[in-house]
Chain A
């Protein structure tokens, strides 16, 4: 049923429809609306879940690790500082192979308290073994969040559904909210592959010596590897019922593009507009939206970009001492490809600074007008100080 929903509410609806059992979250702008909606649902009986009002994000994730190990479906939401605080337990969740789903609202990291959108927070956690899915609009948010449960439970990895602060979390859009009955058909009740059982006691997460640890890590790596195909399977299942799919990446007009812009998040929406404009003016430009960031869909990215003469990656994030993170990942994906295109990297929009169509077009022209990238990532939109 089509409703006009804020991005946050789209998340909450997905969580409701997924019949989550235990929710544990600590408020942080701009995630607060998510938890408020969920609180309301739990209080008024719309959801039959336990809502734990924990005292920090670290405890929020800890709580869910406990709950998930006890065999129930779990959810949390956070952002920026909260996600950073959870860092230790992000590693723990994937190591414990519990399929926790998290809505991560991309927000800048302090100091300099900045509540606006910035991808550094989620990308800085790219090593933690979480599946990361970047959303562009409200519909994608609700669909991806529902799918996240199916996917995570399939491969036993936690899943982060990422959405931009304010631009997505607080923006109202028309969203087709699926029927509960159909979601139930898509998403079976949680059947944990392991859980604590007083009838069959064992210990989870004990000391592991060098002669046993590496295999467990390899097991996680294999699960991540498998996620690439499971993501596909999940999308197929979802499409079969709801007739919507997104793809781990979405190439737009890439076949004959001379320059492919690589984007993620809400910048993608603006970019679609920009490439239409440029195409109208005869520029051979394409767009590659990356949705699935972890595991990084190397094969398909190679496939799409191998013939592109130039690639321009737009990062709303920075890994200090290196470059924009999407740019790094794309470069890494392409570097073993003989004759791969140069990858131009651009840092824009940190801390919620607006990424306008003009700015994106500027990126296009810079890329076009330079043979090769001057630097790993060029910062655009900086003001004179």
Chain B
């Protein structure tokens, strides 16, 4: 795999992300791809802390920390202000976790996208409210343990499909990305940068702490998510044109689940059910892309 990622770094070491944090990797790649001349709006999430306590900032670009549910709204305001000032170069970016995107922040996101605000919204998804201690979000996948879905109450709802929700808004560009596929992430970021209007990137970001996995397999798990079709890599333009970017060897989901502590309670029957759901989602996606399995 030839990896051709820029040498410039836009963040400093010394941040307090957990060892092996996927969110830190995601930010690092994203920043490299986007370059400078950006303003990041950062609603409450793990990155609010990783970004550094006052008076430190781990990012070399300007950051506006914002209230939890305001990611889409604050970015809209920043964009409006830049427009008034005649700035056409600076990109406005919202960098939010799954909580601030799927749940409490969904309204503001939906509103901003419906207005086709000119910004890039990036959701780095670690599949729970990790910052506040691993509580379940609507992005938590079916089968997962969290502190609010403990024991036999493990999450029995499917993961909300945020990309499809935004595609329904006819968003100019929405794409999934994954920290184990840096070239794809970089390409999509650069592609998004060149588009006007609302753009959404859904980045899969492993959380070793919350998923109960050893930190060193953080990237490997991310890769497996794509290889098992649990987290397919695809992009949608203008809400209608689907492109599936990667056709993996389609490993069964079992291995992916067996490696993670948050899934260790799942029985073979549960895993079979999950495999069926993954297959069903795969079929659906293929159909949308105009392809057949």
Contacts and interface: CB of A to CB of B under 8 A. Distances in A.
Interface of A: 21-22, 24, 48-50, 52-56, 58-60, 62-72, 74, 88-89, 92, 196-198, 201-209, 212
Report whether over half of chain B's contact residues are helix, strand or loop; otherwise say mixed. Answer: mixed
B107 A55 contact: yes
A205 B64 contact: yes
A263 to B, nearest CB: 36
Contact of B53 (A48, A89, A196, A209): A209
6 contacts: A22-B81, A48-B84, A55-B107, A58-B70, A59-B108, A62-B77
A209 B49 CA distance: 11
B171 to A, nearest CB: 15
A49 to B, nearest CB: 7
A206 B38 contact: no
A55 B78 contact: no
B107 to A, nearest CB: 6
A203 B73 contact: no
B48 A207 contact: yes
Contacts of A212: 54-55
Interface string B106-127: 0110110011000000000000
Given A198-B36, A198-B37, A207-B53, 11 more contacts: A22-B84, A55-B108, A58-B73, A62-B67, A62-B108, A63-B77, A65-B70, A66-B75, A70-B78, A203-B59, A206-B52
Contact of A63 (B37, B49, B63, B74): B74
Nearest to B16: A207
Nearest to A59: B73
B50 to A, nearest CB: 10
Q: Which 3 A-B pairs have the closest CB atoms?
A: A66-B77, A55-B111, A70-B81
Contacts of B111: 54-56, 59
B54 A22 contact: no
Contact of B78 (A48, A59, A196): A196
Nearest to B114: A55
B63 A206 contact: yes
A54 B77 CA distance: 10
Contacts of B42: 203
A184 B269 CA distance: 73
B110 A206 contact: no
Contacts of A196: 39, 62, 64, 78
B128 interface: no
A97 to B, nearest CB: 13
Interface in B120-169: none
A203 B42 CA distance: 10
A67 B107 contact: no
Contacts of A72: 80-81, 84-85
Contacts of B49: 207
Interface centre among B55, B61, B81 (most CB of A within 10 A): B81
A279 B86 CA distance: 60
B245 interface: no
Contact of A205 (B39, B65, B83): B65
Nearest to A200: B62
B60 interface: yes
Nearest to B58: A203
Interface in B254-276: none
A53 B37 CA distance: 26
A202 B62 contact: yes
A185 to B, nearest CB: 22
Nearest to B57: A203
A198 B38 contact: yes
A128 to B, nearest CB: 13
Contacts of A49: 84
Interface in B20-75: 36-39, 41-42, 48-49, 51-57, 59-67, 69-70, 72-75
B40 to A, nearest CB: 9
B76 interface: yes
Among B69, B75, B76, B107, find the residue whose CB has the most chain A CB atoms closer than 10 A. Answer: B76
A55 B115 CA distance: 9
Contacts of B53: 206-209
Q: Which of B59, B63, B114 is the most central at the interface, judged by chain A CB atoms within 10 Å of its CB?
A: B63
B156 to A, nearest CB: 31
A50 B108 contact: no
Nearest to A213: B54
B285 to A, nearest CB: 29
Nearest to A197: B62
A207 B51 CA distance: 9
B54 A69 contact: no
B54 A67 contact: no
B160 to A, nearest CB: 19
B267 to A, nearest CB: 41
Contacts of A74: 77
B76 A58 contact: no
Given A21-B84, A66-B41, A206-B51, A55 B110 contact: yes
Given A67-B77, A67-B81, A204-B63, A198 B54 contact: no
Interface string B179-192: 00000000000000
Contacts of B114: 55
Interface string B78-114: 1011111100001000000000000000011011001
A217 to B, nearest CB: 13
A241 B172 CA distance: 51
B60 A62 contact: no
